[in-house]
Amino acid sequence: MLLAVDVGNTNVVVGVFDGDRLVADFRLHTNERSTGDELGLDATDLLRRRGIEIGDIDAVAVANVVPPLARSVEEMSRVYFGCTPLVVGPGIRTGVSIKYEDPRLVGADRIANALAGRHLYGAPAILLDFGTATTFDAISAAGDYLGGAMAPGILISLEALVSRASKLNRVELAAPTSVIGRSPAASMQSGFVYGYVGLVQGIVARMREEIGAKARVIATGGLAELFAPLIPEIEAVDPHLTLVGLRLIHELNAD
């Protein structure tokens, strides 16, 4: 079995694949100071709770955008799963032609998303990842990774406003019934949710002008389920897109 580990700025998302089938997945809160033992103990405990035998894990693939955790993740893999992890980065076959000015600067999670998006949904495509940052990745009709856009995640934006405006309190991130808010909380919800909807639709429209109007729009990430019903351009939500990309990259490098 393959253990796929997506180390993000907010969460560490872990999936277990038996062949091409995802049989378990879970999330850990990202802590840059976590040791290999802490990650390993948390991961093995959650795997056992899901009925996964630790000895059945024979490979680990990692996408990591949190450099301080690189050593801890490698230690977890070696000590608790007995294998050297495949870490997405320079020198690893990805099956994706990257047209970035410096391909080394593309986040490992975005590369995994690009491969999985193309594999599952075809090309051209625009891949949205609603995470700590919201990323937009453009895949050409030929399947090449062209680049994309990044915007502050909506939770970061909300925290920034609350921390700088003394009269405003945190609100539930939910779509209000009316765009015209009649209370501070409803006004904030309207501005953040519908403002973000406009941001996404605007960038998608501009990307389609460049790569083709038929580009499919696929969403992933923790807040994708919130925004997909509000953005008709989104054709599908795939919460496991990055994990699937890691599986595909592992297969490309298995020999």
**Taking a C-beta distance cutoff of 8 angstroms, is the pair 77, 246 a contact?**
no
- Residue numbers in the known binding site for substrate are 100, 107-110
User: What's the mean pLDDT in 192-202?
Assistant: 96
Q: What is the pLDDT of residues 25-72, one digit of tens each?
A: 999 999 999 999 999 999 999 999 999 999 999 999 999 999 999 999
- Residue 172 is predicted with a pLDDT of 84
Catalytic residues: 109
- Cα–Cα distance, 217 to 88 (Å, whole number): 24
> What percentage of the chain exceeds 90 in pLDDT?
86
Domain residue limits, the chain:
2-87, 103-245
- Residue numbers in the known binding site for K(+) are 129
CATH superfamily label, 103-245: ATPase, nucleotide binding domain (3.30.420.40)
User: Which of 29, 14, 95, 116 has the alpha carbon at shortest distance from 62?
Assistant: 14
Q: What is the pLDDT of residues 235-253, one digit of tens each?
A: 999 999 999 999 999 999 9
Q: How many residues does this entry show for the chain?
A: 255
- Residue 169 is predicted with a pLDDT of 81
- Residue numbers in the known binding site for ATP are 6-13, 132
- Residue 171 is predicted with a pLDDT of 86
Structure tokens, 170 = 């945190």
CATH class of 2-87: alpha beta
Q: What is the pLDDT of residues 122-145, one digit of tens each?
A: 999 999 999 889 999 999 999 999
**Whether residue 167 has pLDDT greater than 80:** no
The domains spanning 2-87 and 103-245 adopt the same CATH topology: yes
